[in-house]
Amino acid sequence: MENISLLLSEALSPYQVNIGPAGALGERLVTLKNATGAIVIERNFSAAQLGDKRQLTDVVDGLHRDLMVVEGRIEPCVIAAMRNLSQSAGYATARPFV
C-alpha cells in the first residue's frame, strides 16, 4: 500500500494524499488535502481499484476530474455532456439492426 500511496501522491501533487486503514471488505478511504490541510476530497475505493494498475489509473483520472470540479475549472454539466456525447458516438457508429 505504501507504493500506491507514493504513486497517488506523485499523480495528485500538490495535494496531500492519505490512504486510511482497510475496512471490513478491504476498502480504503482516500483523502486529499490542500496546502493548508483542509480536506478537498474524500472517496472510498475498493482493494481491487487500488491494487490493479488499470483500475488505479481510473481512480487517478476520476480524482483529477473531481479536483477540476472542486477548483472550478470544469462544471459538472460539462462532464455529463461529454459522457452523453461519447455514448451517442458509440451508438452512431454501431451497425444498424436489420
Which residues lie closer than 8 Å to 18 by C-beta, 6 or more apart? 30, 31, 33
Q: Report the pLDDT value the prediction gives residue 67, as an integer from 0 to 100.
A: 92
Q: Which residue from 39, 45, 41 is spatially nearest to 67, judged by alpha carbons?
A: 41
- More reliable by pLDDT, 88 or 39: 39
β-bridge partners, 64:
none
Domains of the chain, residue spans: 2-93
Average pLDDT over residues 54-77: 88
Q: What is the pLDDT of residues 11-62, one digit of tens each?
A: 999 999 999 999 999 999 999 999 999 999 999 999 999 999 999 999 999 9
Q: Report the pLDDT value the prediction gives residue 36, as an integer from 0 to 100.
A: 95
Q: Report the pLDDT value the prediction gives residue 81, as an integer from 0 to 100.
A: 73
